[in-house]
Chain A
Protein backbone atom coordinates (compact mmCIF):
# COMPACT_ATOMS: atom_id res chain seq x y z
CA UNK A 1 0.00 0.00 0.00
CA UNK A 2 1.28 3.45 -0.86
CA UNK A 3 2.33 5.66 2.05
CA UNK A 4 0.09 8.42 0.79
CA UNK A 5 -3.12 6.45 0.60
CA UNK A 6 -5.71 7.71 3.09
CA UNK A 7 -6.82 5.09 5.59
CA UNK A 8 -9.38 7.41 7.17
CA UNK A 9 -11.39 9.96 5.25
CA UNK A 10 -13.92 12.16 7.05
CA UNK A 11 -15.95 14.58 4.97
CA UNK A 12 -18.29 17.23 6.38
CA UNK A 13 -19.19 15.19 9.45
CA UNK A 14 -21.88 16.63 11.73
CA UNK A 15 -23.36 14.91 14.77
CA UNK A 16 -26.11 16.26 17.03
CA UNK A 17 -27.56 15.10 20.34
CA UNK A 18 -31.01 16.68 20.34
CA UNK A 19 -30.45 20.38 19.75
CA UNK A 20 -26.79 20.20 20.76
CA UNK A 21 -24.37 20.00 17.85
CA UNK A 22 -21.42 17.98 19.15
CA UNK A 23 -19.58 17.79 15.82
CA UNK A 24 -20.00 20.53 13.25
CA UNK A 25 -18.91 20.06 9.64
CA UNK A 26 -15.59 18.35 10.37
CA UNK A 27 -13.36 17.07 7.55
CA UNK A 28 -9.90 15.52 7.70
CA UNK A 29 -7.92 12.52 6.43
CA UNK A 30 -5.29 10.25 7.93
CA UNK A 31 -2.72 8.64 5.64
CA UNK A 32 -1.27 5.18 6.01
CA UNK A 33 1.32 5.13 8.80
CA UNK A 34 0.35 8.58 10.06
CA UNK A 35 -0.51 9.61 13.62
CA UNK A 36 -3.10 12.36 13.86
CA UNK A 37 -3.92 13.96 17.22
CA UNK A 38 -7.23 15.61 17.98
CA UNK A 39 -6.90 18.13 20.77
CA UNK A 40 -9.65 19.96 22.54
CA UNK A 41 -11.13 20.69 25.93
CA UNK A 42 -13.83 18.49 27.49
CA UNK A 43 -17.00 18.50 25.41
CA UNK A 44 -15.20 19.68 22.28
CA UNK A 45 -16.45 16.67 20.29
CA UNK A 46 -13.40 14.37 20.27
CA UNK A 47 -15.13 11.27 21.62
CA UNK A 48 -18.17 11.92 19.41
CA UNK A 49 -15.92 11.74 16.34
CA UNK A 50 -14.35 8.49 17.61
CA UNK A 51 -17.84 7.08 18.23
CA UNK A 52 -18.95 7.95 14.70
CA UNK A 53 -15.85 6.34 13.15
CA UNK A 54 -16.16 3.18 15.25
CA UNK A 55 -19.84 2.72 14.39
CA UNK A 56 -21.12 3.28 17.94
CA UNK A 57 -22.92 6.53 17.07
CA UNK A 58 -25.04 7.16 14.04
CA UNK A 59 -24.68 10.46 12.22
CA UNK A 60 -26.98 12.21 9.81
CA UNK A 61 -24.60 14.42 7.86
CA UNK A 62 -21.27 13.75 6.18
CA UNK A 63 -19.36 10.58 5.40
CA UNK A 64 -16.60 8.50 6.94
CA UNK A 65 -14.64 5.78 5.21
CA UNK A 66 -12.01 3.47 6.69
CA UNK A 67 -9.63 1.71 4.29
CA UNK A 68 -12.15 2.44 1.53
CA UNK A 69 -15.20 1.06 3.39
CA UNK A 70 -18.00 3.44 4.30
CA UNK A 71 -18.82 3.14 8.02
CA UNK A 72 -22.57 3.29 7.34
CA UNK A 73 -23.10 1.21 4.19
CA UNK A 74 -20.19 -1.26 4.77
CA UNK A 75 -20.08 -1.09 8.54
CA UNK A 76 -18.74 -4.62 9.09
CA UNK A 77 -15.91 -4.25 6.56
CA UNK A 78 -14.97 -0.95 8.16
CA UNK A 79 -15.03 -2.42 11.69
CA UNK A 80 -12.69 -5.27 10.70
CA UNK A 81 -10.13 -2.57 9.84
CA UNK A 82 -10.54 -0.56 13.06
CA UNK A 83 -9.20 -1.10 16.57
CA UNK A 84 -10.68 1.09 19.28
CA UNK A 85 -9.22 1.91 22.68
CA UNK A 86 -12.09 3.64 24.48
CA UNK A 87 -11.70 6.21 27.20
CA UNK A 88 -13.63 4.30 29.85
CA UNK A 89 -12.26 1.10 31.36
CA UNK A 90 -14.08 -2.22 30.94
CA UNK A 91 -14.07 -4.83 33.70
CA UNK A 92 -14.98 -8.18 32.08
CA UNK A 93 -16.18 -9.56 35.42
CA UNK A 94 -15.94 -13.30 34.83
CA UNK A 95 -12.77 -13.81 32.81
CA UNK A 96 -9.02 -13.51 33.01
CA UNK A 97 -6.86 -11.49 30.62
CA UNK A 98 -5.90 -14.39 28.35
CA UNK A 99 -9.49 -15.63 28.04
CA UNK A 100 -10.71 -12.15 27.13
CA UNK A 101 -8.07 -11.83 24.42
CA UNK A 102 -9.09 -15.25 23.03
CA UNK A 103 -12.77 -14.27 22.95
CA UNK A 104 -12.06 -10.94 21.30
CA UNK A 105 -9.86 -12.61 18.68
CA UNK A 106 -12.88 -14.81 17.95
CA UNK A 107 -15.09 -11.74 17.61
CA UNK A 108 -12.75 -10.62 14.83
CA UNK A 109 -13.19 -14.09 13.22
CA UNK A 110 -9.73 -15.30 14.31
CA UNK A 111 -10.30 -18.63 16.05
CA UNK A 112 -6.59 -19.30 16.70
CA UNK A 113 -4.51 -16.27 17.60
CA UNK A 114 -2.09 -17.59 20.20
CA UNK A 115 1.10 -16.07 18.75
CA UNK A 116 -0.40 -12.59 18.44
CA UNK A 117 -1.96 -12.82 21.93
CA UNK A 118 1.37 -13.90 23.45
CA UNK A 119 3.16 -11.10 21.62
CA UNK A 120 0.71 -8.46 22.90
CA UNK A 121 0.76 -9.86 26.46
CA UNK A 122 4.53 -9.66 26.43
CA UNK A 123 4.85 -6.30 24.66
CA UNK A 124 2.28 -4.58 26.89
CA UNK A 125 3.69 -5.95 30.15
CA UNK A 126 0.67 -8.19 30.77
CA UNK A 127 2.38 -11.57 30.64
CA UNK A 128 2.57 -12.09 34.39
CA UNK A 129 -1.04 -10.94 34.78
CA UNK A 130 -2.46 -13.15 32.03
CA UNK A 131 -4.26 -15.54 34.40
CA UNK A 132 -5.71 -12.77 36.59
CA UNK A 133 -9.31 -11.70 36.28
CA UNK A 134 -9.52 -8.38 34.46
CA UNK A 135 -11.59 -6.79 37.24
CA UNK A 136 -8.78 -7.51 39.73
CA UNK A 137 -6.25 -5.48 37.74
CA UNK A 138 -5.23 -1.89 38.45
CA UNK A 139 -6.51 0.92 36.23
CA UNK A 140 -3.23 1.09 34.30
CA UNK A 141 -3.27 -2.66 33.64
CA UNK A 142 -6.90 -2.53 32.52
CA UNK A 143 -5.92 0.17 30.05
CA UNK A 144 -3.19 -2.11 28.68
CA UNK A 145 -5.82 -4.84 28.24
CA UNK A 146 -7.94 -2.37 26.26
CA UNK A 147 -4.99 -1.67 23.98
CA UNK A 148 -4.24 -5.38 23.54
CA UNK A 149 -7.89 -6.04 22.64
CA UNK A 150 -7.81 -3.33 19.99
CA UNK A 151 -4.69 -4.77 18.34
CA UNK A 152 -5.59 -8.48 18.21
CA UNK A 153 -6.62 -8.31 14.55
CA UNK A 154 -3.82 -5.91 13.56
CA UNK A 155 -6.16 -3.15 12.34
CA UNK A 156 -5.23 -0.61 9.69
CA UNK A 157 -6.63 2.22 11.82
CA UNK A 158 -6.23 2.47 15.58
CA UNK A 159 -8.44 4.90 17.49
CA UNK A 160 -6.95 5.92 20.84
CA UNK A 161 -9.39 7.93 22.92
CA UNK A 162 -7.29 9.54 25.65
CA UNK A 163 -5.19 6.40 26.07
CA UNK A 164 -2.96 7.69 28.86
CA UNK A 165 -5.58 9.45 30.99
CA UNK A 166 -4.95 8.65 34.65
CA UNK A 167 -1.86 6.47 34.20
CA UNK A 168 1.63 7.00 35.58
CA UNK A 169 4.50 8.57 33.68
CA UNK A 170 6.47 5.34 33.25
CA UNK A 171 3.56 3.51 31.65
CA UNK A 172 2.76 6.57 29.55
CA UNK A 173 6.26 6.53 28.09
CA UNK A 174 6.09 2.77 27.46
CA UNK A 175 2.83 3.27 25.60
CA UNK A 176 4.26 6.12 23.55
CA UNK A 177 7.13 3.92 22.51
CA UNK A 178 4.69 1.14 21.58
CA UNK A 179 2.53 3.54 19.57
CA UNK A 180 5.60 4.70 17.64
CA UNK A 181 6.40 1.04 16.91
CA UNK A 182 2.87 0.54 15.57
CA UNK A 183 3.28 3.56 13.34
CA UNK A 184 6.58 2.22 12.01
CA UNK A 185 4.71 -0.96 11.03
CA UNK A 186 2.37 1.18 8.89
CA UNK A 187 -0.61 1.47 11.21
CA UNK A 188 -2.56 4.74 11.06
CA UNK A 189 -3.53 6.18 14.42
CA UNK A 190 -6.10 8.73 15.50
CA UNK A 191 -5.33 9.97 19.00
CA UNK A 192 -7.39 12.22 21.21
CA UNK A 193 -5.63 13.69 24.18
CA UNK A 194 -5.54 16.37 26.83
CA UNK A 195 -1.78 16.25 27.05
CA UNK A 196 0.13 18.62 24.80
CA UNK A 197 3.28 16.66 25.40
CA UNK A 198 1.59 13.50 24.16
CA UNK A 199 0.45 15.18 20.96
CA UNK A 200 3.87 16.69 20.55
CA UNK A 201 5.70 13.40 21.10
CA UNK A 202 3.52 11.19 18.97
CA UNK A 203 1.60 12.95 16.26
CA UNK A 204 2.61 13.93 12.75
CA UNK A 205 -0.31 16.32 12.46
CA UNK A 206 -2.93 17.64 14.82
CA UNK A 207 -6.26 19.37 14.80
CA UNK A 208 -7.89 21.50 17.47
CA UNK A 209 -11.55 20.97 18.17
CA UNK A 210 -13.60 23.69 19.77
CA UNK A 211 -17.37 23.51 20.20
CA UNK A 212 -17.49 20.69 17.65
CA UNK A 213 -15.63 22.61 14.95
CA UNK A 214 -12.19 21.66 13.71
CA UNK A 215 -10.37 24.96 13.95
CA UNK A 216 -6.85 24.23 12.87
CA UNK A 217 -4.90 21.53 11.11
CA UNK A 218 -1.14 21.67 11.32
CA UNK A 219 1.97 19.70 12.02
CA UNK A 220 2.25 19.21 15.77
CA UNK A 221 5.45 21.06 16.55
CA UNK A 222 4.57 24.32 14.84
CA UNK A 223 1.31 24.81 16.74
CA UNK A 224 2.69 24.02 20.15
CA UNK A 225 5.81 26.11 19.70
CA UNK A 226 3.78 28.98 18.27
CA UNK A 227 0.99 28.99 20.80
CA UNK A 228 2.34 27.16 23.83
CA UNK A 229 3.90 29.08 26.74
CA UNK A 230 6.15 28.17 29.61
CA UNK A 231 6.39 29.92 32.94
CA UNK A 232 9.93 29.95 34.37
CA UNK A 233 10.76 30.80 37.98
CA UNK A 234 14.47 31.44 38.55
CA UNK A 235 15.72 31.68 42.14
CA UNK A 236 19.04 33.52 42.61
CA UNK A 237 21.52 33.72 45.48
CA UNK A 238 21.91 37.48 45.02
CA UNK A 239 19.07 39.84 43.98
CA UNK A 240 19.18 41.51 40.55
CA UNK A 241 17.08 44.17 38.87
CA UNK A 242 15.52 43.08 35.58
CA UNK A 243 13.36 45.02 33.13
CA UNK A 244 12.99 42.14 30.69
CA UNK A 245 9.76 42.49 28.62
CA UNK A 246 8.71 38.89 29.43
CA UNK A 247 9.19 39.30 33.18
CA UNK A 248 5.84 38.94 34.95
CA UNK A 249 6.84 39.02 38.63
CA UNK A 250 10.04 39.68 40.63
CA UNK A 251 11.15 40.25 44.20
CA UNK A 252 14.79 40.55 43.11
CA UNK A 253 15.74 36.99 44.11
CA UNK A 254 12.82 35.14 42.51
CA UNK A 255 12.06 36.10 38.93
CA UNK A 256 9.04 34.77 36.98
CA UNK A 257 9.05 34.90 33.17
CA UNK A 258 6.27 33.98 30.74
CA UNK A 259 8.08 32.67 27.66
CA UNK A 260 7.11 31.22 24.31
CA UNK A 261 7.69 27.43 24.19
CA UNK A 262 10.75 27.76 21.91
CA UNK A 263 12.46 30.55 23.89
CA UNK A 264 15.91 29.42 25.00
CA UNK A 265 16.95 29.59 28.63
CA UNK A 266 20.52 30.47 27.59
CA UNK A 267 19.21 33.55 25.80
CA UNK A 268 17.10 34.51 28.80
CA UNK A 269 20.13 34.24 31.12
CA UNK A 270 22.21 36.33 28.72
CA UNK A 271 19.56 39.03 28.35
CA UNK A 272 19.28 39.35 32.13
CA UNK A 273 23.01 39.04 32.84
CA UNK A 274 22.44 35.98 35.01
CA UNK A 275 25.47 33.82 35.80
CA UNK A 276 24.81 30.12 36.25
CA UNK A 277 26.79 30.10 39.52
CA UNK A 278 24.17 32.52 40.99
CA UNK A 279 21.23 30.23 40.14
CA UNK A 280 19.86 28.40 43.20
CA UNK A 281 16.83 26.77 41.57
CA UNK A 282 14.79 26.81 38.35
CA UNK A 283 11.16 25.76 38.14
CA UNK A 284 9.27 25.47 34.88
CA UNK A 285 5.59 25.02 34.15
CA UNK A 286 4.58 24.32 30.56
CA UNK A 287 1.21 25.55 29.34
CA UNK A 288 -1.62 23.05 29.37
CA UNK A 289 -3.95 22.26 26.54
CA UNK A 290 -6.60 24.69 27.69
CA UNK A 291 -4.20 27.62 27.61
CA UNK A 292 -2.95 26.66 24.14
CA UNK A 293 -6.49 26.38 22.85
CA UNK A 294 -7.33 29.67 24.52
CA UNK A 295 -4.22 31.21 23.02
CA UNK A 296 -5.17 29.84 19.65
CA UNK A 297 -8.71 31.14 19.86
CA UNK A 298 -7.44 34.56 20.87
CA UNK A 299 -4.97 34.64 18.01
CA UNK A 300 -6.56 35.78 14.79
CA UNK A 301 -3.96 34.32 12.55
CA UNK A 302 -6.03 31.45 11.22
CA UNK A 303 -9.27 31.23 9.39
CA UNK A 304 -10.13 27.64 10.21
CA UNK A 305 -9.39 24.60 8.16
Chain B
Protein backbone atom coordinates (compact mmCIF):
# COMPACT_ATOMS: atom_id res chain seq x y z
CA UNK B 1 0.00 0.00 0.00
CA UNK B 2 1.39 3.35 -0.99
CA UNK B 3 1.88 6.16 1.50
CA UNK B 4 0.07 9.34 0.38
CA UNK B 5 1.84 12.64 -0.30
CA UNK B 6 1.78 15.49 2.18
CA UNK B 7 -0.78 18.25 1.92
CA UNK B 8 -0.29 20.75 -0.89
CA UNK B 9 0.10 24.37 0.19
CA UNK B 10 -0.18 27.52 -1.89
CA UNK B 11 0.64 26.55 -5.47
CA UNK B 12 2.59 29.77 -6.15
CA UNK B 13 4.37 30.63 -2.91
CA UNK B 14 5.48 27.18 -1.74
CA UNK B 15 7.33 26.24 -4.98
CA UNK B 16 8.73 29.78 -5.18
CA UNK B 17 10.04 29.59 -1.61
CA UNK B 18 11.71 26.25 -2.30
CA UNK B 19 13.48 27.58 -5.42
CA UNK B 20 14.88 30.42 -3.28
CA UNK B 21 15.63 28.15 -0.32
CA UNK B 22 17.46 25.60 -2.47
CA UNK B 23 19.55 28.39 -3.99
CA UNK B 24 20.47 29.72 -0.53
CA UNK B 25 21.40 26.22 0.63
CA UNK B 26 23.53 25.84 -2.49
CA UNK B 27 25.66 28.92 -1.86
CA UNK B 28 25.78 28.16 1.85
CA UNK B 29 27.19 24.70 1.10
CA UNK B 30 30.17 26.34 -0.64
CA UNK B 31 30.58 29.12 1.94
CA UNK B 32 34.35 29.37 1.47
CA UNK B 33 34.01 30.14 -2.21
CA UNK B 34 30.86 32.26 -2.07
CA UNK B 35 31.30 34.31 1.12
CA UNK B 36 34.71 33.91 2.70
CA UNK B 37 36.67 34.33 -0.54
CA UNK B 38 35.03 37.63 -1.53
CA UNK B 39 35.37 38.97 2.03
CA UNK B 40 39.11 38.20 2.03
CA UNK B 41 39.46 39.82 -1.38
CA UNK B 42 37.79 43.01 -0.11
CA UNK B 43 39.95 42.89 3.02
CA UNK B 44 43.05 42.89 0.82
CA UNK B 45 41.76 45.95 -1.03
CA UNK B 46 41.16 47.64 2.33
CA UNK B 47 44.64 46.77 3.58
CA UNK B 48 46.47 47.84 0.41
CA UNK B 49 44.47 50.82 -0.79
CA UNK B 50 42.61 51.87 2.34
CA UNK B 51 45.26 51.44 5.00
CA UNK B 52 48.62 51.59 3.23
CA UNK B 53 47.80 54.35 0.75
CA UNK B 54 45.21 56.28 2.76
CA UNK B 55 47.89 58.41 4.38
CA UNK B 56 48.98 59.84 1.03
CA UNK B 57 45.47 60.50 -0.28
CA UNK B 58 42.56 62.64 0.83
CA UNK B 59 39.02 62.67 -0.46
CA UNK B 60 36.20 65.16 -0.57
CA UNK B 61 34.92 66.66 2.70
CA UNK B 62 38.48 66.34 4.03
CA UNK B 63 37.71 62.82 5.08
CA UNK B 64 40.44 60.19 4.82
CA UNK B 65 40.63 58.26 1.58
CA UNK B 66 39.43 55.04 3.23
CA UNK B 67 36.10 56.74 4.00
CA UNK B 68 35.71 57.39 0.27
CA UNK B 69 36.95 53.93 -0.72
CA UNK B 70 34.92 51.72 1.63
CA UNK B 71 31.43 52.45 0.21
CA UNK B 72 32.77 51.77 -3.29
CA UNK B 73 34.43 48.51 -2.24
CA UNK B 74 31.34 47.29 -0.40
CA UNK B 75 29.14 48.00 -3.42
CA UNK B 76 31.67 46.51 -5.85
CA UNK B 77 31.76 43.26 -3.91
CA UNK B 78 27.97 43.21 -3.57
CA UNK B 79 27.54 43.62 -7.36
CA UNK B 80 30.13 40.98 -8.15
CA UNK B 81 28.73 38.41 -5.74
CA UNK B 82 25.12 38.97 -6.76
CA UNK B 83 26.13 38.56 -10.40
CA UNK B 84 28.13 35.40 -9.75
CA UNK B 85 25.37 34.04 -7.50
CA UNK B 86 22.82 33.81 -10.30
CA UNK B 87 25.24 32.91 -13.10
CA UNK B 88 26.50 30.06 -10.89
CA UNK B 89 22.91 28.98 -10.21
CA UNK B 90 22.16 28.66 -13.93
CA UNK B 91 25.57 27.24 -14.85
CA UNK B 92 25.27 24.56 -12.14
CA UNK B 93 21.74 23.72 -13.27
CA UNK B 94 22.99 23.42 -16.86
CA UNK B 95 25.91 21.21 -15.84
CA UNK B 96 23.94 18.84 -13.65
CA UNK B 97 20.90 18.70 -15.93
CA UNK B 98 18.63 20.26 -13.29
CA UNK B 99 17.74 22.96 -15.82
CA UNK B 100 15.69 20.35 -17.72
CA UNK B 101 13.98 19.35 -14.48
CA UNK B 102 12.83 22.93 -13.93
CA UNK B 103 11.11 22.85 -17.33
CA UNK B 104 9.22 19.71 -16.27
CA UNK B 105 8.15 21.08 -12.88
CA UNK B 106 5.07 23.22 -12.25
CA UNK B 107 7.26 26.29 -11.77
CA UNK B 108 6.76 29.40 -13.90
CA UNK B 109 9.56 31.54 -15.38
CA UNK B 110 8.79 34.24 -12.79
CA UNK B 111 9.00 31.81 -9.86
CA UNK B 112 12.28 30.37 -11.10
CA UNK B 113 13.84 33.71 -12.00
CA UNK B 114 12.81 35.60 -8.87
CA UNK B 115 13.83 32.66 -6.67
CA UNK B 116 17.29 32.54 -8.24
CA UNK B 117 17.62 36.33 -8.28
CA UNK B 118 16.76 36.65 -4.59
CA UNK B 119 19.30 33.91 -3.87
CA UNK B 120 21.99 35.91 -5.71
CA UNK B 121 20.88 39.10 -4.00
CA UNK B 122 21.12 37.48 -0.56
CA UNK B 123 24.64 36.26 -1.33
CA UNK B 124 25.61 39.84 -2.23
CA UNK B 125 24.02 41.18 0.96
CA UNK B 126 25.71 38.63 3.22
CA UNK B 127 29.11 39.46 1.71
CA UNK B 128 28.35 43.19 2.05
CA UNK B 129 27.51 42.74 5.73
CA UNK B 130 30.87 41.12 6.48
CA UNK B 131 32.69 43.68 4.34
CA UNK B 132 30.99 46.49 6.26
CA UNK B 133 32.15 45.03 9.57
CA UNK B 134 35.73 44.52 8.39
CA UNK B 135 35.87 47.98 6.77
CA UNK B 136 34.50 49.63 9.90
CA UNK B 137 37.05 47.85 12.08
CA UNK B 138 39.89 48.92 9.75
CA UNK B 139 38.66 52.51 9.90
CA UNK B 140 38.45 52.37 13.69
CA UNK B 141 41.95 50.91 13.88
CA UNK B 142 43.30 53.79 11.81
CA UNK B 143 41.35 56.72 13.25
CA UNK B 144 39.95 55.51 16.62
CA UNK B 145 36.46 56.52 15.49
CA UNK B 146 33.73 54.76 13.54
CA UNK B 147 33.30 55.52 9.84
CA UNK B 148 30.46 58.00 9.37
CA UNK B 149 27.26 56.28 8.32
CA UNK B 150 24.76 59.04 7.63
CA UNK B 151 21.84 56.90 6.54
CA UNK B 152 21.91 53.13 7.20
CA UNK B 153 18.43 52.66 5.71
CA UNK B 154 19.53 54.28 2.45
CA UNK B 155 22.61 52.07 2.44
CA UNK B 156 20.39 48.99 2.70
CA UNK B 157 18.26 50.25 -0.19
CA UNK B 158 21.20 51.00 -2.49
CA UNK B 159 22.95 47.72 -1.74
CA UNK B 160 19.68 45.92 -2.40
CA UNK B 161 19.05 47.72 -5.68
CA UNK B 162 22.63 47.17 -6.83
CA UNK B 163 22.52 43.53 -5.77
CA UNK B 164 19.18 42.96 -7.49
CA UNK B 165 20.36 44.64 -10.70
CA UNK B 166 23.43 42.45 -10.93
CA UNK B 167 21.58 39.38 -9.79
CA UNK B 168 19.15 39.99 -12.70
CA UNK B 169 22.11 40.53 -15.02
CA UNK B 170 23.69 37.30 -13.81
CA UNK B 171 20.41 35.49 -14.50
CA UNK B 172 20.20 36.93 -18.04
CA UNK B 173 23.81 35.94 -18.77
CA UNK B 174 23.38 32.53 -17.11
CA UNK B 175 20.32 31.82 -19.28
CA UNK B 176 21.96 33.09 -22.46
CA UNK B 177 25.41 31.50 -22.03
CA UNK B 178 26.14 28.34 -23.95
CA UNK B 179 29.48 27.68 -22.23
CA UNK B 180 31.85 28.99 -19.55
CA UNK B 181 33.68 31.20 -22.01
CA UNK B 182 30.56 33.33 -22.50
CA UNK B 183 30.37 33.99 -18.75
CA UNK B 184 34.10 34.80 -18.52
CA UNK B 185 33.89 37.13 -21.53
CA UNK B 186 31.05 39.14 -19.95
CA UNK B 187 33.04 39.37 -16.70
CA UNK B 188 36.23 40.55 -18.38
CA UNK B 189 34.94 42.79 -21.17
CA UNK B 190 31.80 44.31 -19.64
CA UNK B 191 31.59 43.86 -15.88
CA UNK B 192 35.17 44.72 -14.87
CA UNK B 193 35.37 47.96 -16.97
CA UNK B 194 31.95 49.10 -15.74
CA UNK B 195 32.94 48.52 -12.10
CA UNK B 196 36.41 50.08 -12.35
CA UNK B 197 35.13 53.09 -14.30
CA UNK B 198 32.16 53.46 -11.96
CA UNK B 199 34.14 55.42 -9.37
CA UNK B 200 35.04 52.74 -6.84
CA UNK B 201 38.59 53.97 -6.25
CA UNK B 202 38.36 57.66 -7.03
CA UNK B 203 35.86 60.36 -7.90
CA UNK B 204 34.90 60.62 -11.57
CA UNK B 205 35.53 64.36 -11.14
CA UNK B 206 39.19 63.38 -11.67
CA UNK B 207 38.39 61.76 -15.03
CA UNK B 208 39.02 63.41 -18.40
CA UNK B 209 35.85 64.98 -19.89
CA UNK B 210 35.39 61.96 -22.21
CA UNK B 211 35.45 59.36 -19.42
CA UNK B 212 33.39 61.61 -17.21
CA UNK B 213 30.69 61.75 -19.90
CA UNK B 214 30.99 58.00 -20.47
CA UNK B 215 30.48 57.37 -16.74
CA UNK B 216 27.12 59.08 -16.84
CA UNK B 217 25.87 56.08 -18.91
CA UNK B 218 27.23 53.60 -16.41
CA UNK B 219 24.54 52.44 -13.94
CA UNK B 220 27.22 51.30 -11.49
CA UNK B 221 28.41 54.88 -11.18
CA UNK B 222 24.99 55.82 -9.75
CA UNK B 223 24.83 52.80 -7.45
CA UNK B 224 28.28 53.51 -6.00
CA UNK B 225 27.44 57.16 -5.55
CA UNK B 226 24.18 56.26 -3.83
CA UNK B 227 26.10 54.02 -1.44
CA UNK B 228 28.70 56.73 -0.85
CA UNK B 229 25.95 59.25 -0.13
CA UNK B 230 24.49 56.83 2.45
CA UNK B 231 27.86 56.89 4.28
CA UNK B 232 29.14 60.41 3.77
CA UNK B 233 26.03 62.45 3.00
CA UNK B 234 27.59 63.68 -0.24
CA UNK B 235 28.25 62.25 -3.70
CA UNK B 236 29.11 63.23 -7.29
CA UNK B 237 25.45 63.17 -8.37
CA UNK B 238 22.13 63.87 -6.60
CA UNK B 239 20.92 60.90 -4.56
CA UNK B 240 17.48 60.95 -6.18
CA UNK B 241 19.08 60.46 -9.61
CA UNK B 242 21.06 57.53 -8.17
CA UNK B 243 17.85 56.00 -6.84
CA UNK B 244 15.90 56.40 -10.08
CA UNK B 245 18.70 54.96 -12.23
CA UNK B 246 19.08 52.00 -9.85
CA UNK B 247 15.35 51.19 -9.83
CA UNK B 248 15.18 51.55 -13.62
CA UNK B 249 18.20 49.21 -13.97
CA UNK B 250 16.54 46.49 -11.89
CA UNK B 251 13.32 46.65 -13.90
CA UNK B 252 15.04 46.81 -17.27
CA UNK B 253 17.48 43.96 -16.68
CA UNK B 254 14.78 41.78 -15.09
CA UNK B 255 12.69 42.27 -18.25
CA UNK B 256 15.65 41.16 -20.38
CA UNK B 257 16.18 38.07 -18.19
CA UNK B 258 12.46 37.21 -18.34
CA UNK B 259 12.45 37.63 -22.12
CA UNK B 260 15.49 35.37 -22.47
CA UNK B 261 13.93 32.80 -20.15
CA UNK B 262 11.03 32.39 -22.57
CA UNK B 263 13.16 32.66 -25.69
CA UNK B 264 16.23 30.54 -25.00
CA UNK B 265 15.93 26.76 -25.01
CA UNK B 266 17.26 25.87 -21.57
CA UNK B 267 19.28 22.73 -22.14
CA UNK B 268 22.06 20.99 -20.25
CA UNK B 269 25.66 21.57 -21.34
Interface residues on A, range: 35 or more
CB distance from B268 to the nearest CB of A (A): 8
Segment with Cβ contacts to A, from B21-29, B127-135, B144-152, B240-248: B21-29
Q: Is B209 an interface residue (CB 8 A)?
A: no
Residues in A with CB closer than 8 Å to B10 are 109
Tell me which of A110, A118, A135, A181 contacts B8 (CB under 8 A): A110
Residue in B2, B19, B95 whose beta carbon sits within 8 Å of that of A119 in the complex? B2
Contact call A92/B2, Cβ cutoff below 8 A: no
Task: Determine whether the beta carbon of A115 is less than 8 Å from that of B29.
Answer: no
Identify A107's interface contact among B3, B30, B92, B106, CB under 8 A: B106
Query: Which of B72-80, B97-105, B200-208 lies on the face that meets chain A?
Result: B97-105
Tell me the smallest distance from the CB of B91 to a CB of chain A, in Å: 11
Tell me whether A55 is interfacial, beta carbon within 8 Å: yes
Specify which of A99, A107, A182 is in contact with B105 (CB 8 Å cutoff).
Answer: A107
- Chain A, residues 58-99, CB within 8 Å of chain B (1/0): the string is 000000000000000001100110101010111111110001
A90-B96, A94-B29, A103-B18 known; A112 vs B7 contact (CB < 8 Å): yes
Known: A79-B105, A116-B6, A119-B3. A109 touches B98 (CB 8 A): no
Task: Indicate if the CB atoms of B2 and A110 lie closer than 8 Å.
Answer: no
Whether A107 and B15, one on each chain, are in contact in the complex, defined by CB atoms closer than 8 angstroms, is: yes
* A-B CB proximity, top 5 nearest: A106-B18, A119-B3, A79-B106, A113-B6, A90-B97
Sample of 27 A–B contacts (CB below 8 Å):
A56-B104, A76-B11, A79-B104, A79-B105, A80-B11, A84-B104, A86-B100, A88-B268, A90-B98, A92-B98, A93-B95, A95-B22, A106-B17, A107-B18, A107-B19, A107-B106, A107-B107, A108-B105, A109-B8, A110-B7, A111-B9, A116-B3, A119-B2, A149-B101, A152-B5, A154-B2, A154-B4
Q: A80-B106, A94-B92, A114-B6 are in contact. List 7 more A-B contacts (CB 8 A).
A: A86-B101, A91-B96, A93-B92, A107-B107, A110-B8, A115-B3, A182-B2
The chain A residues found within 8 Å of chain B, CB to CB, are 54-56, 75-76, 79-80, 82, 84, 86, 88-95, 99, 103-116, 118-119, 135, 149, 152-154, 181-182, 185
